[in-house]
Structure 1
Amino acid sequence: MKRKFLIFTLLVGLMVSCSEDFLETSPSASISDDKVFTNLEGAKAVIDGVTRDLREYHSYHDQFGVKAIDLASDLMGEDIVVGRLHWFRYDYTIDNREATYRRPSYVWSLFYRSIRNLNEVLAHYDEVTNATDVQKKHIKAQALTLRAYSYFRLIQHFQQTYMGHQNDPGVPIYTEPKNEGNPRATVQQVYDLITADLDEAITLFGEANIERRDISEVDLSVAHGIRARVALVMNDWSAAASHANAARQGYALNTIEQFESGFDNAAQMVWMWGLPLNDEQSTIYASFFSHLDMTIGGYAGLGYSPKYLCHTLYSQMQPGDIRRDELLIPTVSNSVNVYVNLKFSSANDKEFAADYVMMRPEEMLLIEAEARARMGGPEETTAQNLLQELWNVRFYTPPTVTETGQALIDRILLERRIELWGEGFAFYDIMRLKKGLNRTNHIFSAVPGNVIPAEDPVFIYKIPQTEIDNNPAISEADQNP
């Protein structure tokens, strides 16, 4: 394990590294020159540009692509304690949802920018003159996967969870490039598009059978993985189990040594999807590791906004778990017992050029385990065996899984919180499980009493005011409560 010292010194300067985008960066931007799609390289470059935009720095130090949104959502949960309010303060205090605020606008613009450019790919991919039919299928599959991913992220922030809200207003749907705004589609219509895109992409990836160039590219496994995530939210247990199982085929679980390596280097770990960075692409202080990693001189490590694992979660972890015994350092912040988590530790390795994790086989195992546990009957034994498989690589002397029924489901849900801590899943689980929020072991209050009931409107973003002002199909009457 890479034991590292913690940094708590004064910040002496800020450096932000920006790189030129291939694509436009305004929410309404699109590819203006259709000629880019007349050759295979141009079509690939557009998809690469969309992927790169997911890890780019955009204007502010809490806007560094999709991992900024992952962190913002995690900070809206229970398991990360913020020791000092700085960047992301309003996300953490559940006060970043208003129509004129930057966070809703950033989420909206990032993913609709992706959707617009992916729709351009889908409208023109068949015009590529130097590509085979197989290559065209591969291009289309990538575009469909990324479009589905974008809509899935949007619908989770701008409306309550799927179950019980299928007929509620969701987000506008665009399946082709256009300049006119559309009204809000229903939640069901959005999920129908997401699942249709992913199902078609899975078929096309299977037919094309082209090996991806880099871990940043979406492929068949990633498409199955996103489809499994979607099915979990929809309570479609059979689909969640089958897609999660298919997604992790060919991937081993990370060993103890790999899990302890710092989550900063895709080449050292088993990831299904990641966004690698190098020194030139690093955005230094405006980066995921700056805000979460306590071992380098970023906002967390320098003490401007340290992030800790909550005592409530720690108290539920089992002795012998390397995620507890090897990666947590107990400390006290503002009279609250918290734990420095060395899961994300890039010092002496990639540091500010640390890679961004997007999907791991462990997540897929946990999706399958939860789905099969909920299916019950003979599937329960399979769920137990899956959880045991994970424990075998998280304990030097693994305990035996004995839970059944609801206790087994609860144990798997707890394992999601432990295994996926800091990766952007905790808040979405709170939403889909309709749990509500309990912050009694935190330093700063989210609301008086630190408890927010399930499905409270404060959990969902309001439609950005710029969208209401510029889209005739959406008015103030269509705004979220």
Structure 2
Amino acid sequence: MKTKIKIAIIGGLLAFTSCEKDFLDVLPTETLSQEQVTEAATVNPNVGKATLLGIYENLYRRGSGGTDDQEDFGITSQYMNLDILSADMAHLGKSYSRQRDISELTATLDPDNNNNLRPWTFLYRVINLSNLVIDGAGGNDVVPDTENARYTVGQAKALRGYAYFFLAHVFANDISDLSKNVLPIYRSASDLEQPKSSLQDVFDFALNDFLDAETLLEGYVREDKIEINQDVVRGLIAKTYGALNNWQQTEIYAKKVIDAGYPIMTADEVALLPGEDGSVGGFNDINSIPGVMWGIDITAAGQGLASLFSWWGFMDQYSYSYAAVGNPKGMDSDLHANFRADDIRLNQWSDDLRPAGKFYYKGAELNGFTNFSGPQTNIDSDSHYMRVSEFYLLHAEAAAENGNFSGSRISLKALLDLRLTDTSYIDALSDGALADEAALQARLELWGEGQSYFIMKRRRETRTRGANWLDFAGQSFSHTDERLTFEIPQDEITGNPNISDQN
């Protein structure tokens, strides 16, 4: 049975684990007890799998951040905010005030602002639901007897680890200050009102989850790309080691992802090339793009996402939503200037640097690629969270940091040979310039895909906004700037007696 069908029937299965309150709505300080979880799993052996599907649903459903805001729809809503904060996604229009306070860097200074509440609630929901699965299977140290149970716990640990990886970046000003206490760790659904743990402990906890998941998911063949498999976990491990600047392990794990054999997206898959009809690209169909490793196959009937409440509505100028009517986003002009003249990715951009040739809904060509053309009022274009191109570039970066300059050049050219007419400039680069070039190419390749912020923090960079910004054009921001990091929501500080201050 396909995952999108299984998700549609999740409500009935999840009823076994709820008492009077839907646990999808609990905050980290409001959890079910170990006894309730275990009892539910005893009553219905499918409850762990059902809860797992509930976690995946939270990755994209509206309201998963605990609000009814139109910007509240899971991972991709967070990706947009992070791309703006990283200085790579310029806010080109302020109609309807959507994400204005992110661009103006005021939301991240106000603990009562919902932009802080949404990632906190969303990510701790993922953690709480993951704990339900893990607790129900026997706890953090359990190795389930059955194959299916191992796969379920493996995915739950991967999702919990991802939530902590994400939290460590967006709620800690300086991810190199590992001794600082920054976040509560909830190891079980029975944990209540935990104090802050050190950033080192948070990263260690995430990494332990990932390494456990890597073992538990050995041999797992997923049905749909929304499910995390061993390759996705290895990608998350590589990113975590990268955040810690453990370049040796970053290189090893990025190479494992490369060796899994996912193909790099081709030229006509990544850009609307001259003379093409647009039916191939657009990043709108994850199942037709083998290079997409993780994502959600969205159908208008299955998920019911209105364009006003979706990533596509905020990013795709052809959809029936904000990007077409005064609230567009585009590539930072200084970043865009780094494209070489023979780069096919130049075809991703309109004259004002909107991603008109990169992201477009299924069927946009039927209306001649005109702005606000519809018919995507209800979303059936997919969302992706990870693709293999990232790991060719991460491998190139880590290999260069490790002194493996030949390996770095091989990985860089493997991708750029599909983007440039001539990649000989890579051979002419000094060894010392390779890591920075790999990181730059990652920003160019993955623009709008939610990765620039993690690159900035991994590289400990200072970024400068280009001339096309409406806010702070020409101003520079360090990766440690408090304005680039979310505040712990005031509700959490008020409700958790063991947390009394911001980071």
Q: TM-score, normalised by structure 1?
A: 0.87
Structure 1 residue 344 corresponds to structure 2 residue 359: yes
Equivalence for 1:295: 318
Deviation at 1:341, TM superposition (A): 4.0
Deviation at 1:263, TM superposition (A): 0.6
Deviation at 1:295, TM superposition (A): 2.1
> Given the alignment, which residue of 214, 218, 221 partners 2:231?
221
Q: 1:158 to 1:46 in 2, by over 3 A?
A: same
Equivalence for 1:442: 468
Q: Name the CA distance, whole Å, in 1 between partners of 2:88 and 2:490.
A: 31
Q: Give yes or no for contact 2:85–2:102 (8 Å, CA) kept in 1.
A: yes
> Given the alignment, which residue of 265, 272, 275 partners 2:285?
265
Q: Name the CA distance, whole Å, in 1 between partners of 2:9 and 2:322.
A: 21
What does 1:16-415 correspond to in 2, within 5 Å? 23-28=23-28, 30=31, 34=37, 35-38=39-42, 39-58=44-63, 59-85=68-94, 86-97=97-108, 98-126=110-138, 133-163=146-176, 165-178=177-190, 180-206=192-218, 209-248=219-258, 249-260=260-271, 261-269=281-289, 270-280=291-301, 281=303, 282-301=305-324, 303-324=325-346, 326-331=347-352, 338-348=353-363, 351=376, 352-376=379-403, 379-396=404-421, 398-402=423-427, 403-415=429-441
Deviation string, structure 1 residues 91-144 (Cα, Å, up to 9, x no partner): 1222212211101111111111111111111111249xxx95222211111111
Deviates more, 1:306-315 or 1:148-157: 306-315
Amino acid corresponding to residue 257 of structure 1 in structure 2: D
Deviation at 1:431, TM superposition (A): 2.5
Q: 1:317 to 1:202 in 2, by over 3 A?
A: same
Deviates more, 1:248-257 or 1:61-70: 248-257
- 2:351 aligns to what SS in structure 1? strand
Q: 1:322 to 1:155 in 2, by over 3 A?
A: same
Equivalence for 2:450: 424
Q: Give yes or no for contact 1:24–1:30 (8 Å, CA) kept in 2.
A: no
Q: Name the CA distance, whole Å, in 1 between partners of 2:315 and 2:453.
A: 16
Deviation string, structure 1 residues 178-199 (Cα, Å, up to 9, x no partner): 2520100000010110111111
- 1:272 aligns to what SS in structure 2? strand
5+ residue gaps in structure 1? 1-17, 332-337
Deviation at 1:177, TM superposition (A): 1.0
Amino acid corresponding to residue 312 of structure 1 in structure 2: D
Deviation string, structure 1 residues 366-423 (Cα, Å, up to 9, x no partner): 11110001111xx100100111100121135554522132221221111011100001
Deviation at 1:456, TM superposition (A): 1.9
Q: Give yes or no for contact 1:440–1:451 (8 Å, CA) kept in 2.
A: no
- 1:273 aligns to what SS in structure 2? strand
Give the length in aligned residue pairs.
444
Deviation at 1:427, TM superposition (A): 2.0
Amino acid corresponding to residue 49 of structure 1 in structure 2: G
5+ residue gaps in structure 2? 1-7, 15-22, 272-280, 365-374
Q: Name the CA distance, whole Å, in 1 between partners of 2:499 and 2:254.
A: 36
Deviation string, structure 1 residues 250-307 (Cα, Å, up to 9, x no partner): 2111111222300111012121111221102123211001101122222102x23011
Amino acid corresponding to residue 420 of structure 1 in structure 2: L
- 1:395 aligns to what SS in structure 2? coil
Q: Give yes or no for contact 2:241–2:249 (8 Å, CA) kept in 1.
A: yes
Deviation string, structure 1 residues 18-54 (Cα, Å, up to 9, x no partner): 9997552242555675344234432111001001111
- 1:69 aligns to what SS in structure 2? helix
Deviates more, 1:309-318 or 1:147-156: 309-318
Q: Name the CA distance, whole Å, in 2 between partners of 1:322 and 1:77.
A: 24
Q: Give yes or no for contact 2:107–2:115 (8 Å, CA) kept in 1.
A: yes
Deviation at 1:241, TM superposition (A): 1.0
Q: Give yes or no for contact 2:24–2:129 (8 Å, CA) kept in 1.
A: no
Amino acid corresponding to residue 393 of structure 2 in structure 1: L
Deviation string, structure 1 residues 202-235 (Cα, Å, up to 9, x no partner): 11112xx121121100110011010111111100
- 1:243 aligns to what SS in structure 2? helix
Q: Give yes or no for contact 2:52–2:156 (8 Å, CA) kept in 1.
A: yes
Amino acid corresponding to residue 57 of structure 1 in structure 2: R
Deviation at 1:460, TM superposition (A): 1.7
Q: Name the CA distance, whole Å, in 2 between partners of 1:319 and 1:440.
A: 20
Deviates more, 1:288-297 or 1:395-404: 395-404
Q: Name the CA distance, whole Å, in 2 between partners of 1:84 and 1:458.
A: 21
- 1:353 aligns to what SS in structure 2? coil
Q: 1:183 to 1:385 in 2, by over 3 A?
A: same
Q: TM-score, normalised by structure 2?
A: 0.83
Identity of aligned residues (%): 24
Q: Name the CA distance, whole Å, in 1 between partners of 2:93 and 2:9.
A: 30
Equivalence for 1:8: none
Amino acid corresponding to residue 53 of structure 2 in structure 1: D
Q: Give yes or no for contact 2:308–2:322 (8 Å, CA) kept in 1.
A: yes
Amino acid corresponding to residue 265 of structure 2 in structure 1: N
Deviates more, 1:108-117 or 1:174-183: 174-183
- The two structures, once aligned, show a CA RMSD in angstroms of 2.2
- 1:452 aligns to what SS in structure 2? strand
Q: Name the CA distance, whole Å, in 1 between partners of 2:230 and 2:252.
A: 14
Q: Give yes or no for contact 1:370–1:409 (8 Å, CA) kept in 2.
A: yes
Q: Give yes or no for contact 1:273–1:359 (8 Å, CA) kept in 2.
A: yes
Q: Name the CA distance, whole Å, in 1 between partners of 2:210 and 2:54.
A: 20
Q: Name the CA distance, whole Å, in 1 between partners of 2:251 and 2:25.
A: 37
Q: Name the CA distance, whole Å, in 2 between partners of 1:323 and 1:47.
A: 37
Q: Give yes or no for contact 1:300–1:306 (8 Å, CA) kept in 2.
A: yes
